[in-house]
Amino acid sequence: MNALPVASTIDQTFSRTRAAGQMAFMPFITAGDPDMATTVELIELLAGCGVDLIEIGFPYSDPIADGPVIQSSYTRALAKRLHVSDIFAGIAELTGRNTSLPPLVAMVSYAIIFRIGSTEFVRQAKAAGFSGVIVPDLPADEAEEMSKQCQAAGLNLVELIAPTTTKARTAKILETSKGFLYCISVAGVTGARTDLPAELQEQLAWLKSQTTLPLAVGFGVSRPEQVAGLKGLADGVIVGSAIVRHVGRISEENCPKAEAFGAIRELATAMVQATRGV
């Protein structure tokens, strides 16, 4: 008899929030902006705010769908000659001494993975303490091998669904995505927006009828009041640019780190409360 698959830490997180009738909150940050020491501090700050997962972007010179705020953070990190090995070393040091962190999910271009080799990248990601990997430029048609490698290592390969994704392509994505589905709210790049599109509710309702995977909405979510409109449709919300912008002030505006971190703590706490229905 085949053994049942072991629930990942991401699976466990969404099971917990779903059972409580809540949504999960996942902030995005850029590794190495302004340096890895600050990234490590920021992860611990966010964990202390009660976030459910943390998405960590691996800087890349030609990002696929990132808006100007995240692009600028990647540029700043790369200008300091940040390497993937620096990211893995910083995360490994952190997870080695702090075992109470929420699941960490890497957002990384396949070009980076290809250069290292997918087997070796997955091995290093698992050893560093990551729970999942999001590869925005890996087509669903070519994701099966990477998904199996991640599963064998105890990682989740999380895939993205866009408003323009066809139903046939969605079926292919559902075959290999694990942990949760990253649901892009708009046809465009990342960045804070005033309102989320009305069509998003229809898209999420249809996806709910197709899969039991948790649905996490990103791209454009930036404020606690946007969470209410996703209640009952999404299982999680992802906020990136609104947080990365505050980190950028440290380098671009000579903002004291304590001030930037204070603004991030306030936003993260408000988002956690909103996803809890407070």
Active site residue 66: yes
9, HSE (Cβ side, Cα atoms, 13 Å): 19
Instruction: Kindly name the residue from 11, 35, 52, 55 that is annotated as catalytic.
Output: 55
**Alpha carbons 72 and 76: distance in angstroms, whole number:** 6
Spell out a b/e string for 166-192, using b for 16 or more CB atoms within 10 Å of the CB, else e. Answer: eeeebebbbebbbbbbbbbbbeebbbb
In the annotation, is 55 catalytic? yes
Distance of CA 238 to the CA centre of its chain: 7
> Residue 238 and residue 54: Cα distance in Å, rounded?
9
Choice among 52, 66, 159, 235 that is catalytic: 66
- ω into residue 34 within 30 of 0, thus cis? yes
Enter the tokens of residue 135: 């590869």
Q: How large is the angle between the packed helices 241-252 and 257-275, nearest 10 degrees? A: 170
Q: Residue 8 contacts by C-beta under 8 Å, 6 or more apart in sequence?
A: 103, 131, 132, 154, 155, 156, 178, 179
Question: What are the residue numbers of the active site?
Answer: 55, 66
